Structures are given as structure tokens and as C-alpha cells.
């Protein structure tokens, strides 16, 4: 489901993965672009079970990897890694390090030369036979000292400039990190960020009934798009995201899971508390009076269905998510605009 943390790939391992990935892409007629390579590299590497399972299923079914399918796979599994941006930042960092290293080497050469000159001065002082000889040695020592000072001053200024460049790179990397974990339409966490966070919580071994999930889907969303257009549909999605922000706090995490489907993770929350949060979200959407911004015409009642599930001892995150999804399906089948609780562990009234 989520990609576990892995150790850094060595150059030797990277070369071997490259050797295995390219023929596989060629075999299935997948163009070798950075985005496609990111997907198939992860498949060969095997660290993303969800990606590996889906790609293997497509291969076994003899599916043709069209440009559209390749793009969908990238957006679903590898969009957290902006290949072009990553290469740009990596190259900038490499150039910066080489530049600084070159400056340090230059100063190191100057330092060794200065040290050699000092040794020569010491030797000549011992052999000098007149004050004039010592005066000449002192003069050359003063010149070399001034030269060394200028060299170290230039290094200081150079390193100061490079320090500012490093700060800018750090800011750029932080922006890229946020972009990679955010849904561009809503600003909420994206699917990858959510699944990774869920996996971390599951690994911590939460006590039973202390980690809850809400799986949320906008009812009849296709009708909204068909009737009002995709721009209005996007506005409805952003409005639901706003509602989720208003009803989550602290370590809670709301994410857009895909399309009109959202998910909320509620740590330290049992089934009863999760149902309360779910009902507030449902009611907020049902009570909203959304209108078109262009002609002020009402959009009609926009509702959501919600599935609720809580973790079980030693449960795989995928199973918890699947149970929340099954509860959502139950809410849809029961008439929509309501919540359904998984496992029948507690009776929670549905509100239409």
C-alpha cells in the first residue's frame, strides 16, 4: 500500500536496476522517458507492493501500455518524485559542492606554499650573516602573509556566497517536498503522503480502537460534472476539503485519495469519536448552500457518504483501509448521505 522507507541505492545497485529496467520497458513497448522510468524503476526495485501488484496484473493481462495509462501510473505511484525538478536540484547541488571544493583546494595549495615559504625563511634566518639579509627575509615574509590573507579573505567571501546558495537550495527542496506530498487542487495531503503516514502509525502498534479512518465520497459527483462542468466540480471538491480542515485538528490527517474520494485518519480516536466526526462532516456538506459564482444559481444539495473503521491488533494498513472502503460502499448502498460503521462492533445511527 505505502512505500516503506528504504536504504539508499548504491551506484552498483542503481546500475543493476537500470540493466533490468530498460529491457523490461522495451519488452512492453513503454517509451523510456523520465516519468515512465520512475514507475518501472520502482517496479523492478520492488519496494512499493501496491505498484508492483498493479503493474504485474497489467502485464499478466497483456494490457497495452498507452501514453494515457503510463501517465496514470506515474500520477498514482511516482508523482511524489518530480524527476525533472529532482535532477535540477541534484545538479545544482553537485555544481555548488564542486565549486566550494575547488576553492578549498586552491586555498590548500596557497597554505602549503605559505608553509613552505615559512620553512625557507626559518632556514635562511639561521644562515643569515647580516641585518640586511634578515630585513629582506622579513620583507618577503610580509608579502607572503599579505597574499595569504587576501586568499583566505576571498575564500571567506566565496563561502559566504555559497552559504546563501545552499540556503536557497534548502528552501527549494522544502517547497518540492511539500509539493510532492500535497494535492494541487485542494492543498490537502495526497494519496502517497497519506498512505505513508498511515503505515507509520500502523508500525507504531496502536492499541485496538485507537486509530480510526473515514473514507468519504461525494454522492452523484458525475452528475455535478455533467450538469455544471468540471470547473464547478473542482469547486465542490475544494469545498469538501475546506470542510475536512474545519473538522480535523492536531495529529488528524485529511487527504484527497483520488477523484471525489477523500480519507481522514484520526489517531487516538475510537469508533464512537470517529462516528461523531464523520457525522459533523456529513451534516456540514448536506447543509451547505452552494451556488455557481457566475450566475448565482444553486448547485442543489451536495452530500457525501462516509465509511468508518478502526484498527485491529496487528492489522495491515491495507486491510484497515479496505474495511473503511467496504463501510463506505455499505453507506452508498443504503441510500447515500449517511455514514456506515465497519464490523458491527457498535450501533451508530445513520442520519439522512
Q: Which residues are catalytic?
A: 260
DSSP structure class, residue 8: P
Give burial (CB, 10 Å; 0-12/13-18/19+) of 217: buried
The answer to whether the beta carbons of residues 348 and 275 sit under 8 Å apart is yes
The 3-state secondary structure of 159-216 reads: HHHHHHHHHHHHHHHHHHHHHHCECCCCCCECHHHHHHHHHHHHHCCCCCCCEEEEEE
The answer to whether the beta carbons of residues 254 and 245 sit under 8 Å apart is yes
Question: To the nearest 5 percent, what fractions of the chain are helix, strand and coil?
Answer: 65, 10, 25
The answer to whether the beta carbons of residues 48 and 38 sit under 8 Å apart is no
Phi-psi region of 5 (alpha: psi -120 to 50; beta: other; left: phi over 0): beta
157, three cell numbers: 567571501
Query: CA-to-CA distance for 62 and 245, rounded, in angstroms?
Result: 42
Residues with Cβ within 8 Å of 105's Cβ and at least 6 positions away in sequence, in order, are none
Amino acid at each position: 500500500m505505502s512505500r516503506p522507507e528504504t536504504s539508499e541505492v548504491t551506484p552498483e545497485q542503481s546500475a543493476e536496476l537500470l540493466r533490468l529496467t530498460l529491457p523490461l520497458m522495451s519488452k512492453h513497448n513503454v517509451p523510456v522517458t523520465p516519468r515512465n522510468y520512475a514507475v518501472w524503476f520502482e517496479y523492478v526495485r520492488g519496494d512499493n507492493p501496491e505498484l508492483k501488484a498493479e503493474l504485474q496484473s497489467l502485464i499478466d493481462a497483456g494490457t497495452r501500455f498507452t501514453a494515457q495509462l503510463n501517465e496514470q501510473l506515474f500520477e498514482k505511484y511516482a508523482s511524489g518524485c518530480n524527476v525533472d525538478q529532482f535532477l535540477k536540484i541534484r545538479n545544482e547541488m553537485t555544481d555548488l559542492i564542486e565549486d566550494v571544493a575547488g576553492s578549498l583546494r586552491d586555498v590548500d595549495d596557497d597554505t602549503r606554499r605559505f608553509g613552505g615559504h615559512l620553512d625557507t625563511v626559518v632556514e635562511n634566518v639561521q644562515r643569515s650573516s647580516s641585518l640586511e639579509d634578515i630585513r629582506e627575509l622579513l620583507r618577503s615574509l610580509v608579502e607572503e602573509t599579505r597574499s595569504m590573507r587576501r586568499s583566505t579573505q576571498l575564500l571567506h567571501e566565496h563561502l559566504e556566497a555559497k552559504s546563501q546558495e545552499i540556503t536557497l537550495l534548502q528552501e527549494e527542496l522544502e517547497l518540492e517536498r511539500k509539493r510532492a506530498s500535497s494535492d494541487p487542487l485542494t492543498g490537502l495531503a495526497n494519496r502517497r503522503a497519506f498512505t505513508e503516514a498511515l503505515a507509520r502509525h500502523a508500525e507504531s502498534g496502536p492499541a485496538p480502537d485507537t486509530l480510526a479512518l473515514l473514507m468519504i465520497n461525494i454522492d452523484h459527483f458525475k452528475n455535478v460534472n455533467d450538469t455544471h462542468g468540471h470547473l464547478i466540480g473542482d469547486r465542490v471538491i475544494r469545498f469538501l476539503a475546506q470542510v475536512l480542515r474545519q473538522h480535523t485538528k492536531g495529529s488528524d490527517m485529511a487527504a484527497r485519495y483520488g477523484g471525489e474520494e477523500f480519507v481522514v485518519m484520526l489517531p487516538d480516536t475510537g469508533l464512537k469519536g470517529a462516528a461523531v466526526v464523520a457525522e459533523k462532516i456529513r451534516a456540514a456538506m448536506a447543509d451547505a448552500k452552494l451556488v455557481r459564482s457566475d450566475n448565482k444559481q444553486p448547485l442543489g444539495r451536495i452530500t457525501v457518504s462516509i465509511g468508518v473503521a478502526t484498527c485491529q491488533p496487528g492489522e495491515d494498513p491495507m486491510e484497515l483501509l479496505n474495511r473503511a472502503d467496504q463501510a463506505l460502499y455499505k453507506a452508498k448502498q443504503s441510500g447515500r448521505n449517511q455514514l456506515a460503521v465497519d464490523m458491527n462492533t457498535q450501533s451508530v445511527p445513520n442520519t439522512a
